[in-house]
Amino acid sequence: MLKKALTGVLLLVLSEAMGIVNASASSSFALRLIADCNASPSERMHLAPSREDLCVSRDVIADGSNLADVSVERDESLDAYDIHIWLDSASAKRMSSATRKMSRIGRIGIVLDDQLISAPFIMSHVSKEMLITVPQKGEELKEIVKAIRSSMKRP
């Protein structure tokens, strides 16, 4: 089963505000670590659903050009949806290195169009494949996936 084959799992809750994503235009997508504000070059970003201000590393682990694929499917067992993200080999190495020792203590920032849309906890070591489980409605989620897909650079 695909879920068991995934090397890492991220759980996240996306805000209701994500319904405003414009998937018809090209979007920018980035995965960046949540950082200690005093320890590394970072920028403070507001995470709307939780009203948190978090420091997000300026170093990008992966962006749209590093995505091999992204898809969404319904997870009946959790009454939720799964976003599957596959990274290219270069970003998979960066992700693996960044998450190796961070399981259950670190967070990753998901930035879409320069807005921090989520900051899930890293639940396990992540490499080439990620599974993000969200309680969003199917249509909202399709718009989010379209926005992420629009950031992908196709050959």
CA end-to-end span of the chain, whole Å? 29
Q: SS3 breakdown of the chain: % helix, strand, coil, rounded to 5?
A: 25, 40, 40
Structurally, at CATH architecture level, domain 2-150 sits in 2-Layer Sandwich (3.30)
| Token pair 């994500």: residue | 18
φ, ψ at 47 (rounded to 5°): -100, 100
- 147 vs 128: CA distance, rounded Å: 20
**pLDDT for position 133:** 78
Gyration radius of the chain's alpha carbons: 14
Within 13 Å and on the Cβ side, how many CA atoms surround 62? 33
Predicted confidence (pLDDT) per residue in 50-106, tens digit: 788 999 999 999 999 999 998 888 888 888 888 889 999 999 999 999 888 776 678
Predicted confidence (pLDDT) per residue in 108-143, tens digit: 888 988 888 888 888 888 899 988 877 766 666 777
> Three-state SS for 41?
coil
**pLDDT for position 147:** 80
* Continuous segment of H or E residues that includes residue 95: helix 89-99
For the chain, the structural domain boundaries read: 2-150
- 37 vs 29: CA distance, rounded Å: 22
How far is residue 111 CA from its own chain's centroid? 7
Nearest 5 degrees, angle CA 129-CA 64-CA 143?
85
**pLDDT for position 138:** 64
Could you give the dihedral angle defined by the CA atoms of residues 3, 8, 12 and 14, in that order, rounded to the nearest 10 degrees? -80
Question: Judging by DSSP bridges, how do beta strands 42-47 and 52-57 pair with one another?
Answer: antiparallel
Predicted confidence (pLDDT) per residue in 23-48, tens digit: 445 678 999 999 888 877 899 999 87
pTM of the complete model: 0.75
